[in-house]
Structure 1
Amino acid sequence: MLKVDPAALSDDELLDRYQRAAFSYFLDNVNPENGLVADTSRPNSPASIAVVGFALSCYPIGVERGWVTREAAVRLTLAALRFFSTSPQGSGEGVAGHKGFYYHFLDMRTGLRVWRCELSMVDTALLIAGMLVAGAYFCGDTDEEAEIRQLAEALYRRVDWRWAQGSSPTLRQGWKPKSGFLHYGWEGYNEAIILYVLSMAAPDKPTSDNSYAGWTATYQWENIYGYDVLYGGPLFMHQFSHAWIDFAGIRDAFMREKNSDYFENSRRATYLHRDYARHNPYGFGGYGENLWGLSAGDGPGRFRARVERRPHRFSGYAARGAPFGPDDGTIAPWSYPASLPFAPDICMAALRHLKDRYPEVIDNFRLPSGFNPTLANRRKFGRNGWISEGHFGLDQGIVVMMTENHRSRLIWELMRSNQHIRRGLQKAGFTGGWLSQPASAAPGDRDVA
Structure 2
Amino acid sequence: MKNKISLSILSLAVLLSCKNSQLTNTTADTKSVSVKLTDNQLMDKVQSDALKYFWDFAEPNSLLGRERYHEDNIYPDNDKHVVTTGGSGFGLMTILVGVDRKYIPRREAVKRLTHIADFLEKADRFHGAWSHWINGETGKVVPFGKKDNGGDLVETAFLVQGMICVREYFKNGNEEEKALAAKMDKLWKGVEWNWYTKGGQKVLYWHWSPSYGWEMNFPLEGYNECLITYVLAASSPDYSIDYDTYNKGWTRNGTYTTDRTKYGLPLYVKHNYAEEFGGPLFWSQYSYLGLDPRGLSDKYVKSYWDLNRNHVLIDYKYCLENPYKYKGYSEKYWGLTASYTRNKDGSVGYAAHQPMKEDFGVITPTAALSSMPYTPKESMAFLKFLYEEKPNFIGQAGPYDATSVNFNDWTTPRYLAIDQGTIAPMIENYRSGLLWNLFMNAPEIRNGLKKIGFKSTEHKIQ
SS at match of 2:202: coil
The one of 398, 417, 440 equivalent to 2:441 is: 417
3-state DSSP class of the match of 1:18? helix
Q: CA deviation at 1:354?
A: 3.2
Q: Is the 8 A contact 1:32 1:76 kept in 2?
A: no
- Please name the residue that 1:203 is paired with: 237
**Counterpart residue identity of residue 113, structure 2:** T
Alignment partner of 2:266: what SS?
strand
In the alignment, which residue of structure 1 is the partner of 2:295?
249
TM-score (norm 1): 0.85
Q: Secondary structure at the match of 2:48?
A: helix
Displacement of 1:39 in angstroms is 1.2
Equivalents in 2 of 1:365, 1:60: separation in Å? Answer: 17
**Residues 153, 220 of structure 1: alpha-carbon distance in 2 compared, 3 angstrom cutoff:** same
Name the stretch that deviates more: 406-415 or 178-187.
Answer: 178-187
Shift of 1:116: 5.2
Aligned to 1:21: 49
Structure 2: gaps spanning 5 or more residues: 1-11, 17-21, 25-33, 71-75, 272-277
CA distance in 2, matches of 1:7, 1:156: 42
User: CA 1:158/1:186 → structure 2, altered by over 3 Å: closer, same or farther?
Assistant: same
* Correspondence 1:56 to 2:84: no
| Cα distance per residue 1:109-157 (max 9 Å; x no partner) | 1121113543211110111111111111112453322222222221122
- 1:152/1:361 CA distance change after superposition, 3 Å: same
Paired with 2:60 and 2:144, the residues of 1 have a C-alpha distance of 25
Alignment of 1:355-394 (within 5 A): 355-363=387-395, 366-376=398-408, 384-385=409-410, 387-394=411-418
Written as runs of structure 1 = structure 2, the 5 A alignment for 1:21-420 is: 21-31=49-59, 33-42=61-70, 43-44=76-77, 45=79, 46-87=82-123, 96-115=124-143, 117=145, 118=148, 119-167=151-199, 168-181=201-214, 182-214=216-248, 215-217=250-252, 219=256, 221=258, 222-229=260-267, 230=269, 231=271, 232-256=278-302, 261-301=303-343, 303=344, 316-322=349-355, 324-363=356-395, 366-376=398-408, 384-385=409-410, 387-420=411-444
Amino acid at match of 1:101: A
**What is the CA–CA distance in structure 1 between the aligned matches of 2:173 and 2:459, rounded to whole Å?**
28
The superposition leaves residues 93-120 of structure 1 with CA deviations (integer Å, 9 ceiling, x where unpaired) of xxx2211001101112112111354321
Deviations 1:138-183 (A, max 9, x none): 1245332222222222112211111111153221121223222212
Change (3 A) 1:356 1:57: closer
Whether contact under 8 Å (2:206, 2:220) holds in the other structure is: yes
Q: Match for 2:152: what amino acid?
A: S
Q: Measure, in 2, the Cα distance between the counterparts of 1:266 and 1:304.
A: 35
Q: How many residues align?
A: 408
**SS at structure 2 position matched to 1:255:** coil
SS of structure 2 residue aligned to 1:99: coil
User: 1: distance between equivalents of 2:357 and 2:144?
Assistant: 29
Deviating more after overlay: 202-211 vs 25-34: 25-34
**How many Å separate the matches in 2 of 1:408 and 1:391?**
26
* CA RMSD across the alignment: 2.2
State percent identity of aligned pairs.
30
Q: Is the 8 A contact 2:36 2:388 kept in 1?
A: no
